[in-house]
Structure formats: C-alpha cells, structure tokens
Amino acid sequence: MHDTPPSVPDFTQWPSFPFEGDLHVKQLDDPVPVEPPRKGEGLRECTACNAPDDAYIWVGERWRVRAMDRPTGLPMVLILESRTHLDLGDLPNLLAAELGVMTVRLERAIRSLDGVARVHVNRWGDGSAHLHMWFLARPYGRLQLRGTFLSLWDSILPPISEAQWRENLALVAAWLAEFGGRPLAEPPRIQWQAPSSLLAQSEAADAAAADAAAAAAASVIEAAEEIPEPGGSTPSVDPADGDTAPSADPVDGDADAGSTVADAAPTSEAASPARDGNAASNAPAGTTSSGTTPSVVSESGTPTSGVASAVPANGPAVLSGAAVRNDPADDAADKATAGALDEAPRKAAPNSDA
C-alpha cells in the first residue's frame, strides 16, 4: 500500500512562490546505500580544475570568478571558485579567511550595478567537489522575487539583453581588479552606424530579442554541477562551465555609405562661361525653356551666346551648376539686375534677319 503524499506545504501560498494552480508533492525515492561521486571525486574529472583562465571574468592568485555562458533572467549570476581543488570544509585558515573577504568584495561589486537591490549568496555543492559559491542579484523593486525562490525565478524570467549582461560583467570584473587580479571581461563595443542603418539595426535587435526569449536560458537550477547524478551514469555537460559565448563583433569605424555628397562641377557647354573677352562680362542673364542661352549683344555690337548666368562688371561670376530657369519673370529680373551693374543700360540686339 502506497503512502499518501503529504499535503502541499504553506510556502506554495507565499507571494514569492513562482507557480500556481493544482500542485502535487512527489513521492520520495528510497535512499541509496552509497552516494555517487561528484565531479572531482573518484575517477571523475574536475571541470573547474580543467577550465582555463579565459573562461572566467576575473582571475587572481587563489580565486577565480566565472559567469554563465549566456544571459539569464536575473541581472547577474556569478560563481566564486578557489583555484585549489578543495571543498568548503577542507579550506585551510588562509583560504577560509580570504573566502570571507572575497564574498564581501564580490557582493559589493554586484550590488553596485544599476537595478540590483540584493545579492543572494548560496552554496550547494551536490554536483561538484570543487568549492564554488553562487551569487544571484535580485532586481530592484521586484518584491515577488524576494526569498529562497530566486534561483527558480532565474529560469522563468526572460533573459536580459546580452549587451547589458556583458556590460555588467565588465563592471564587476573592473571592481574586483581594484583590489588585485586581472579583469578578463570586456564591455560591448559601441556600434557606430550611419542614420540610414538605424532602422535595420532596430529590426535586427527586435528579432534577436525574440529569439533569445524563445530559447531556454541556462540557470542556476539547470547547472549540472548542482544536480547529483545516479551511479554509473554518463556525466552531463555543465552549462555553467566553459567559455562565455562570444558575441558578434559590431561594425567598427564610421559607416558612411550613402552619405558622400558628389561635388562634381557641371561640364555642359551650356553651363560654361563664355570666353570671348568683354562679351563674357557684359552679357545679360537669361535662359530659355529649351536649355540654350539666348544671344545677346556686347558693347561692340557682336552677338554672343552660351552664357549661363550674369557676370558682374567687377569680376567673373562663379557657376555652381544651378538648374535652368524657365520663368519669364525671373529672366526679366535678371536683366534688370545686370543692367544696374553697368553704367548704361543694355539694349537688345537687333534682329539679324531684318
């Protein structure tokens, strides 16, 4: 006859409990006579001992700090590890004293981040024999996340943006480096882009955020080093170990494609100034709808053509490739202006056919 499962405990009614609805308590398995070895025990290799320094965000002489391989739901989740392969109860006095100093230092560094209210410090150690302490940042103002269920909420909340996550990692690493060691986490590079590409960048960011929200984020409760395995089973890959997933390099430099203004001068003969001596300086301005310049007469009575704009008497005019005007009112105004520049008004050339 099976035992009747116990009733649901009272903490399921706490505001911080992340689930609702009908819940049932599992039956306890029978105890095993001998517990299976953890990582770093017996013949099992130690993940922390085999990890290189570049898999961490900060390294010192006796301690290292690493992060998850990708952003999770909390602003920051970090793991403090000793370099020496020791568990918590095996630490000598020197490392035990330094563990207290490092715990306080790392807690202050995480709490200095924007949007962090509290930092929860946890140690389980059921999956790995190598000492590792968990530091979980609770978002400011999220009162429902207070208490012992913060590690569960980490896998429920949508992951934060990778840019913000990498910036937080770099800030914590720089804080720790003020007291020694080497910071290995770098902030994300600034993406310099032309205004024409901002819309495409926004659409790409929205698509990436949707993909990240759909993907399952690595969390504290999913860390293989915290999940005891039955004897004889194949060790699973620890999602919290290994190198931090690199981000795609943003475009460097000034992306000025499409923003260069062509300054080529007009090459049409109709837009070129006449080179007939006094004819160029005395010709009135005026154009026709066909794009050709009407003939005008210089003081010597010689008709000239090809002048695109009026040239003042005190110097040559600079042609800037202006568009040809077809408004008769503008032609009359130009003629009046050109006439005012000379001592005597110009007269129209007689008809050559008369």
In a domain, 299, yes or no: no
Q: Which domain holds residue 164?
A: 47-183
Q: Give the domain CATH number at 152.
A: 3.30.428.10
Q: What percent of the chain has pLDDT over 70?
A: 54
In a domain, 147, yes or no: yes
Q: Which residue has the higher pLDDT, 42 or 64?
A: 64
In a domain, 119, yes or no: yes
Instruction: List the Cα angle 257/259/264 in 5-degree steps.
Output: 110
In a domain, 277, yes or no: no
Angle formed by the axes of helices 93-111 and 162-177, nearest 10°: 130
Is residue 151 over pLDDT 50? yes
Q: Choose the most confident range, by mean pLDDT, from 23-27, 140-144, 235-239, 283-287.
A: 140-144
In a domain, 8, yes or no: no
At residue 141, the pLDDT reads 94
In a domain, 241, yes or no: no
pLDDT average, residue stretch 235-264: 41
At residue 105, the pLDDT reads 97
In a domain, 129, yes or no: yes
Give the tens place of pLDDT for each residue, 10-22: 888 788 888 888 8
Among residues 16, 38, 32, the alpha carbon closest in space to that of 223 is found at 38
Is residue 70 over pLDDT 70? yes
At residue 218, the pLDDT reads 56
At residue 337, the pLDDT reads 54
Q: Which of 47-61, 105-119, 226-240, 266-280 has the lowest mean pLDDT?
A: 266-280
In a domain, 189, yes or no: no
pLDDT average, residue stretch 193-220: 64
pLDDT average, residue stretch 202-209: 72
Whole-number average pLDDT of the chain: 72
What does the alpha-carbon distance between residue 25 and residue 345 come to, in Å, rounded to a whole number? 108
At residue 4, the pLDDT reads 62
Is residue 246 over pLDDT 60? no
What is the longest distance spanned by two Cα atoms in the chain? 130
What does the alpha-carbon distance between residue 270 and residue 286 come to, in Å, rounded to a whole number? 12
Among residues 146, 82, 81, 75, the alpha carbon closest in space to that of 111 is found at 75
Domain count, the chain: 1
Is residue 72 over pLDDT 60? yes
What are the Cα distances from residue 26, in Å, to 1, 11, 97, 231? Answer: 16, 16, 41, 22
